[in-house]
Structure 1
């Protein structure tokens, strides 16, 4: 075991202003006093990759559904041999996780069952994926049909005369239940294919590590890059609209994109405006069901609801097009690099090894797109509809006097929302005032103070004593939590002052001034030529990748969204640095080496040096060749 440990959750108290915070969350989501011995025996890490800010009571639905369903597919559907699910708790408002291992004695027995179940999916991937598309789109359609309207003064006479026998209160309660159950269904669909995508990549990754001793993780990842992903379609649609605006002579009409109505009216008045507006309308369905956040928070802004966001991105792209920049992703270069590396490693294998290599690589490439595509359909599209309907419900109850602000419902747990709805329909039914308007305003105010107080403190990166070595594959691949990163968190890194070490997530070397941001609300602050430093990025931040030179995050592994997106945009990235966003300041000059996973603060720089992709690839080639020679020897 490591000598140093992280704090115990039982010894880490919040500020006085956050006293009583545990009351905001369900009993099973917090560390209970009578389970101290059990909970302290586990290592917990903060999942700031998916939940970087304090979670309000209603918002726990995101990680409850996601992590529950992830475990369901590992443990009950697929029986993945080395991995069960992940336990989760809220501590001081933040989400912490602890992977559940499979006992060594049970792994072998799960192998044949896994092969049967997973093998069926791998052999029928395209057919089952097409079926999946129908299921998730059908679920989204059902969510869209839900509505939360105030109850009428009297039941329509037609319902009485027809003998319907129920009132709108029945539909109101039922629609809330449907909102929850349909979203839970969608999250099960989310993991139907996702874990298989990770398993196929992990199988290929493990094989490469065996037959190519010393092969860099980067080289393995590059062999599956350059694929067509639907997750990039929203950004691609914006680029097409920017190019079309320049072609039609509409560029000057994007001056004030903060006022979408005025911008669109000005375009409509132009002779070529109708052609552009037709393309704009076509792009929205479904690709504007996209958030600048990650879909897990009620306040995440979706393009469909905030048209100033896509218009602003288009405005930026127009400027780049007019100044001669190529705004398209470097797909041809990525594919050429992918094929070059694949060919070089293939030449080292025996015929038997080559056959296995090609089979595993083919499967990894086939399933790899889903690892990102699901993100559009669930986190963006499904959750966008979910939050829109939840806001409608919150606003309706606000107008009925239950709380002072339109979105105050999110300070309630979802079981409390159900109780509140029953309070509302009961008051309506008996003809007397509901109790909620006299109860919830003061309670919401109390909870708002607690959430705000919790938000003033950053969470511990982990809790309790870490294992000597991190071996759980998903923890390594998705979150990038390695033994080295834990040393960084504990202050035991041997990195020199001013250097941060993390995961070499996307190759290339770049220098530039840092831009440190902590949320998507600050994306407008990012300037051309800067290096983005953040606790975590979201896949939806793609439109700013045309401005920045490199990306640095605190958390994330080789298969994290940040790593995959940066590779597909040809952007150098170092993920999983642990504390970079807290220690680096905006304006400091950084050198980001995505080939070896280091970020260095350059105190005395003389040149605005950015290694071009070609130079970075030459360095990659040299590194790969060295490893190839080692393997061959």
Structure 2
């Protein structure tokens, strides 16, 4: 009998076949985002993992702006701004339409020289956190305001007479091109601001985490995470606003207007006819700015739907909350319970330390708690609010170009790269300026259809989770804490780790044990299918899925570590969670009965019914 040797590596991106009918997919993306043949030897020396936590879908060409801006700006704050001693940035590539990442190591001999400048630079932010964060809010909101002011009207037949008589000397195409440049620049600006604080938030937590591991040998990762739980994050505010509106509907005697499954228009029409309905509608309208700048996706794709653009989304959650509030159910997160548990476990560990070590423990804990809320807060201001306005304006531009005959469907612009969009805009401007037909209407429609077919072919297959040969031991803290890519998980993917039998193993991300029926969700459009008490199983959850956390009993994801959004949100909602299982969404099917042990990181399949 011939024995098959265990695998020691994953496929190379250069050997991984593309889906049928996806030939030529590389040409859809900028040259620097795909694996180049002349760099095969260099790129194959690197370990790449698929970041399906942030980018779970195939990119249309224009949508690469999110990964380009986000990961580039994330990287720059490590070696260029703060000189974080053990961390550089992350390289990224697109392969078969999906995003792959590879952390850039800091040579050990360079780490000592970065310590002193890091202490000076990061220390300034830690010492002035509140005032600098207040300044940050002003910068971010100013950028959003500028984004809101951008518009893309159709070009007029002739310039206004006032432009001639005033001697302006410029035509509307100057504004058209300038507004597109502003759109891109404003997006880039707020992604710069995004990481001004985020990396330091992770650093403070990881410093506290490392200290705890040193002075409390054997302390579970989850115990450390519990010491900073019970946060008051802006990210929870949109969901809290919906709960307040549901409670108000009950208090005003309007529950009959909120039948589950009703759309926003019918609910509002019924409420308007009810006594005191005007009070509820006023509260509904007041909540929208800014809290409806929220998406059920993650903000990285042009197709993400935002509450303010589709009021049926928040109204659907309100209808569900209203039914539950009418029965006397407490809709709010168990903050008191979380804080009590946080203080209990903190006190127990603190008492184990001698006075000097206890002082260090309390100092590091205090800093971690101060900066920790930003780890989630930034999502609302950037991924949700900024990107919501950005995509809305981009769709406005796409519709204008569609009306000018450049493509067949209103949102087809996203099959172009942003450089190609500017080229098409100048094509439009040239045709308008010289009084001739632009070239784009005879070129782009068929080219977009070709690209659409390629994107659809790429979407037909899920991505390979990792590429090339993994390191013997994965120690890079962000890879472990944020993504849940651990030595043990990689071993399971290779088939050399522990056999979990009728279950899976992942990160013990949020404590507690429950049994229930699985509901496998692969996208936000399926959230309405979730029934009360089910266990949510997904490749990854978005931070904005908070409104369904009151219905589910536990969460299981394919990717994500202790500091992933799924883990943080589950701890704040008091739900058991196992993250980073690698394959839960493909091994589990809806209706299976599961036992989720979020304290030990195990998922047991009890039966397959």
Equivalent residue, structure 1, for 2:95: 91
The structure 2 residue matched to 1:400, chosen from 400, 404, 407, is 404
Tell me if 1:110 matches 2:114: yes
Report SS of the residue matched to 1:574. Answer: strand
Report SS of the residue matched to 2:89. Answer: strand
Offset of residue 604 of structure 1: 8.6
The structure 2 residue matched to 1:134, chosen from 133, 138, 143, is 138
Equivalent residue, structure 2, for 1:535: 539
- Contact 1:257-1:263 at 8 Å conserved across structures: no
Equivalent residue, structure 2, for 1:291: 295
- Contact 2:50-2:463 at 8 Å conserved across structures: yes
- Contact 1:256-1:263 at 8 Å conserved across structures: no
Equivalent residue, structure 2, for 1:412: 416
Report SS of the residue matched to 1:62. Answer: helix
Report SS of the residue matched to 2:562. Answer: coil
1:515-573 CA-to-partner distances (Å, cap 9, x unmatched) read 00100000000001100000000111111111110000000010010100000000100
1:400-452 CA-to-partner distances (Å, cap 9, x unmatched) read 00000000000000000000000000000000010000000000000000000
Equivalent residue, structure 2, for 1:434: 438
Equivalent residue, structure 1, for 2:280: 276
Equivalent residue, structure 1, for 2:165: 161
Offset of residue 396 of structure 1: 0.5
The structure 1 residue matched to 2:598, chosen from 594, 597, 606, is 594
- Contact 2:84-2:118 at 8 Å conserved across structures: yes
Offset of residue 251 of structure 1: 1.2
1:582-615 CA-to-partner distances (Å, cap 9, x unmatched) read 110100000000000000000299xxxxxxxxxx
- Contact 1:507-1:595 at 8 Å conserved across structures: yes
Report SS of the residue matched to 2:88. Answer: strand
- Contact 2:531-2:552 at 8 Å conserved across structures: yes
1-structure distance, mates of 2:321, 2:275: 22
The structure 2 residue matched to 1:549, chosen from 544, 547, 553, is 553
Show structure 1 runs of 4+ deviating over 4 A: none
1-structure distance, mates of 2:325, 2:173: 54
Equivalent residue, structure 2, for 1:19: 23
Equivalent residue, structure 2, for 1:620: none
Report SS of the residue matched to 1:505. Answer: strand
- What residue ranges of structure 2 are gaps of 5+ in the alignment? 1-5
Equivalent residue, structure 1, for 2:45: 41
1-structure distance, mates of 2:19, 2:341: 52
- Map 1:508-519 to 2 at 5 A: 508-519=512-523
The structure 2 residue matched to 1:580, chosen from 579, 584, 593, is 584
- Map 1:122-521 to 2 at 5 A: 122-255=126-259, 258-521=262-525
Equivalent residue, structure 1, for 2:3: none
- Tell me the TM-score normalised to structure 2 length: 0.98
1-structure distance, mates of 2:551, 2:251: 22
- Contact 2:7-2:495 at 8 Å conserved across structures: no
1-structure distance, mates of 2:261, 2:513: 34
Offset of residue 258 of structure 1: 4.8
2-structure distance, mates of 1:306, 1:254: 17
1-structure distance, mates of 2:64, 2:608: 46
2-structure distance, mates of 1:32, 1:378: 32
Report SS of the residue matched to 1:16. Answer: coil
Equivalent residue, structure 2, for 1:64: 68
1-structure distance, mates of 2:459, 2:40: 25
Report SS of the residue matched to 1:98. Answer: strand
- Contact 2:555-2:577 at 8 Å conserved across structures: yes
1:295-334 CA-to-partner distances (Å, cap 9, x unmatched) read 0000001000010000000011111112232111000000
2-structure distance, mates of 1:303, 1:229: 19
- Contact 2:493-2:582 at 8 Å conserved across structures: yes
2-structure distance, mates of 1:491, 1:398: 50
RMSD value, Cα: 1.0
Equivalent residue, structure 2, for 1:615: none
2-structure distance, mates of 1:525, 1:254: 18
1-structure distance, mates of 2:556, 2:499: 16
- Contact 1:257-1:308 at 8 Å conserved across structures: no
Tell me if 1:82 matches 2:86: yes
Offset of residue 257 of structure 1: 5.2
1-structure distance, mates of 2:91, 2:36: 14
2-structure distance, mates of 1:177, 1:258: 41
Which segment drifts farther, 596-605 or 119-128? 596-605
Report SS of the residue matched to 2:293. Answer: coil
- Contact 2:263-2:316 at 8 Å conserved across structures: no
Report SS of the residue matched to 1:341. Answer: helix
- Contact 1:151-1:168 at 8 Å conserved across structures: yes
Offset of residue 256 of structure 1: 6.5
Offset of residue 27 of structure 1: 0.2
- Tell me the TM-score normalised to structure 1 length: 0.94
2-structure distance, mates of 1:317, 1:261: 18
Across the two proteins, how many residue pairs are aligned to each other?
604
Offset of residue 4 of structure 1: 1.5
- Contact 1:551-1:573 at 8 Å conserved across structures: yes
- Contact 1:495-1:501 at 8 Å conserved across structures: no
